[in-house]
Structure 1
Amino acid sequence: MKLTIITPERTAFDGEADSVVLNTVEGEIGILPGHLPLVTLLRAGDVQVEHQGQKQFLAVDKGFAEVSEDKIRVLTEAAIDVEEIDLEAVSKAEERARRYLAEAEGKPDLDPHELDQIQGSLRFAVAQRLAKGRRSR
């Protein structure tokens, strides 16, 4: 199967896969060759890619996945290979986002787009930390 993971900034993954596990809003699902067509919402979490006996994990933010004709396309706000995650940088980003959210409480003039960006930063930081921890066991 062909798996492509696309963010607004770049293509985070573009390669072959024998199986893919996605974190959907309905729970984890496994995709194998010949899977029925599917469009689903993704939760922030990780994507497991297996190809020729090797496993690779990517942390992804919320998004969508489309499965069609042995092609899987993931459109997400952010994605990173778990091996590239710097836990110290992730902790700082999470702390910063939590601080901004705390400061934003009670500010009626806060731009909703800015609030969404802060919440997205926090969500992806948590997803990276959890994915890295889950895969280092």
Structure 2
Amino acid sequence: MRIALLTPVIVTPAMAAARDFYVRHLGFRTVFENDWYVHLHGGGEPRTVELGFMLPGLAEQHPAYRAATDGAGLIFNLDVEDAAAEFARLQAAGLGFIETLRDEPWGERHFTLHDPAGIVVNITQKIEMRADFAAQALDPAVTAPKQLDA
């Protein structure tokens, strides 16, 4: 199977607040919206990042889609060019953080915060891995920082 796009859909009563968070703070744009579902596009072209939010308890939906998540156990990693600049921007916007900006030996400069649905959002920048982590990489492409396409 060749997967063209992965689009997580989060079932949450905080659908509107989640939409506003991703649009206002993380650069997503709304591409579809009705009273029970909103679909966001967060990347350039071709489409690489999409995200949906849906209200819980909808009788029209299959029961598997009705329960709301509290976000526990789910992390969205968003790779950026400059994590320090994004941290400063979001800090100036008054957002709270789970973890403030830090460098990790596995090749990540990052900080984390919760979105309104309770999802952990990890804003990351790839940096050089410490040698012991780089030695564990099965794909050499993951050991070096990469430039994001504009």
Higher RCO (CA-CA < 8 Å; seq separation 6+): 1
Larger strand fraction of residues: 1
Do Structure 1 and Structure 2 share a fold, with TM-score over 0.5?
A: no
* TM-score under structure 2 length normalisation: 0.25
